Structures are given as C-alpha cells and as structure tokens.
Amino acid sequence: MKKVVLFLAAIVCLLSCNSSTKGTIYEYTALSNTGQEVNFSDYKGKVLLIVNTASKCGFTPQYDGLEALYQKYKDKGLVIIGFPCDQFGHQEPGTDEEIEEFCRMNYGVTFPLMSKIEVNGEDAHPIYKWLESQAGFAGFAPEHPLSKVLDDMLSKADSAYASKPDIKWNFTKFLISRKGEVVERFEPTVEPNALEKPIEEQL
C-alpha cells in the first residue's frame, strides 16, 4: 500500500512540475491597464502577438511598427497585447495611466495594453513564465545596431546568458497561433515589419 501511495505521489509531482511547459495561453489571466481581469480564453481563434514594452527605451519607436501591424491585420484576426515592464534599465517608471497616455499621444497606440508586470524572476507573471518555457532566447539579429550593445552588456552580467530562456530586454515578441500555442519568439532586434510574413502564415 505504501508503495502505491508513493507511486501516486510521484505521478502528481511529475504532472505539477511539468504544468508550466504545457497547455495554451487560454489558461491564463492578466489585469488590463484599467485593472480589469482579462481572461485569455476570450482570444480563442485569434492570432496574438505578446510584447513586453517600455516608454524610455531605444526600442520604444517600435510602437509605431507594432501599431502599423495591428491596423493592417486586426480585421483578419490579429491582436497585439503590450505588457509594460520596468525590469530593464528602469525604462518604464510610469503608472499604468501615464503609460497609456504616453503610448496614445506619441505613437497613436490603439492595441490593448495590460497593467505593468515583471517578466523575469520569482515575481514574473505566470503568462511570461509559460512563454519562456515554450520558446527560449532566439538570438539577436546581427545586422541590428543595438545587438552588440546588448550582447556586451548581458555577457558582462552572465557569460552564459544566451543559453537561458528569460527575457533579455524590452520589446521581446511572442507570436501565438489561433490554437493558443507559441509559434515563435522574436528578440527586440527584430523590427515589427519583419513579422508580417510569420503573422500572415498564422492568419
């Protein structure tokens, strides 16, 4: 009997330990920037692009490209969702209200913005723990002028950074299929206009 109990306990542990590496984004919820709970199951059948954003970053102008993608493909089923985050160089210090106003006034952003979260570490949002479990670091685009800057900075902090799946900087992008599964991860050095073909393949 004792062996049976131990066996069942091991099975439960195995299932729970692997829970973050399975499933779909539809199992998660998050708060909008107005404090309302958003159930991602409401996006079933949509193609999602999840982006961690910041207002004072060298990549902040990507808001223009992201909004252009949203306007081009939203009627075909694309939803872009921005998650503001202040974990990288303290580049998103504002409140949710200030962030929303900045994005609207400076970049005309109309796609959904969520409440500010953490994407790495113990306090990382569950959605980001799941995203990182589904797609590891994809490498910086060698042709981008900021790639070497990022590589040098991250290498000094951790020489093995490239082997770890955590988010490296603002404007990392995850493409999610209509089935709620991660299709591909794009690092900040991939400009939004380069995502047109991958997005079209999912629509």
- Which residue numbers are catalytic? 57
β partners of residue 37: 31
Helices (H) and strands (E) in the chain, counts: 6, 6
Distance separating alpha carbons of residues 174 and 49, to the nearest angstrom: 6
CA distance 18 to 28: 16
Pairing of strands 47-53, 37-39: unpaired
* Backbone φ and ψ of 106, nearest 5°: -95, -30
DSSP-based three-state secondary structure for 93: coil
**Amino acid identity for residue 23 in this structure:** G
50 neighbors 163 (Cβ within 8 angstroms): no
Work out the burial of residue 62: count CB atoms within 10 Å of its CB; fewer than 13 is exposed, 13-18 middle, 19 or more buried. buried
Q: What angle do CA 15, 16, 17 make, to 5 degrees?
A: 95
Q: Two tokens at 178?
A: 């209509």
